Copies of this chain bind each other. A is one copy, B any other.
Amino acid sequence: MSEIKVTERTRVKRGRKIANYDRDTIYSILDEAWVCNIGVSRDGQAMVQPTSHWRIGNELFLHGSVKNGLFQQVMKGETACITLFLLDGLVFARSAYHHSVNFRSVVVYAKGRLVEDPQEKRQALDAMLDKYSPGRSAEARPPNNIEMKATAVFAFPIEEVSAKIRVGGPNEEPEDMALDIWAGVKPVVSVVGELIPD
């Protein structure tokens, strides 16, 4: 257990009881999620994009086109807000109000570092492939110089970060417990099927 230092931006204000600042727990959510959302501000307007991400040590990696407007703001030094969300279940309560979802979410605030060292960049891109399919980077034809240049890779320190985790059944009002209304949790899982060959 290693506790993350909480900042004003990452202190969970709503749902304090489900806040989590444990580094290993946060890493596990980052590693399990396949998609994050990154937001930056440009001329006072938030722009948000879904994208894939992966983690190496204490840095979160994203990749994209160098011409991408959002990543251009990252390169200008704008602090990004990156969110991840794993939906684990639909929570059915006896009252409409207490319906909820079980989930694990992470919010990271960080400035991005453009990965320029060719070796570090190659290792980072390999790690991305291996996240989605372990060992894949050793099987696929490696990127050539043109392909390496077409992709920008950014590393974000995982320092200013918080998680929220909701588990379990519905929170109910005591007076609702006698109502004859079914309640409980419907689990939600993401399933990967068999390869459909090209």
Bitwise interface map of A from 19 to 42 toward B, beta carbon under 8 Å scored 1, else 0? 000000000000000110111110
CB distance from A110 to the nearest CB of B (A): 12
**CB–CB A196/B187 < 8 A:** yes
Task: Pick the contact of A45: B41, B47, B129, B170 (CB < 8 A).
Answer: B41
Q: Given the interface contacts A39-B48, A46-B48, does A196 sit within 8 Å of B184 by beta carbon? A: yes
**CB–CB B90/A192 < 8 A:** yes
Write out the residue numbers on chain B whose beta carbons fall within 8 Å of the beta carbon of A186. Answer: 192-196
Complex formed: what's the CA distance from A9 to B82 in Å?
A: 20
**Residue with the highest number of chain B CB atoms closer than 10 Å, among A46, A49, A84, A136:** A46
Write out the residue numbers on chain B whose beta carbons fall within 8 Å of the beta carbon of A78. Answer: 46
Write out the residue numbers on chain B whose beta carbons fall within 8 Å of the beta carbon of A183. Answer: 197-198
Write out the residue numbers on chain B whose beta carbons fall within 8 Å of the beta carbon of A195. Answer: 92, 182, 184-186
Q: Given the interface contacts A41-B46, A92-B136, does A196 sit within 8 Å of B192 by beta carbon? A: no
Which residues in A have some Cβ–Cβ distance to B below 8 Å?
Answer: 9, 13-14, 34-35, 37-41, 44-50, 52, 64-65, 67-69, 78-85, 87, 90, 92-97, 99, 101, 103, 105, 107, 125-126, 129, 132-133, 136-137, 139-144, 147, 150-151, 169-170, 172, 176, 179, 181-198
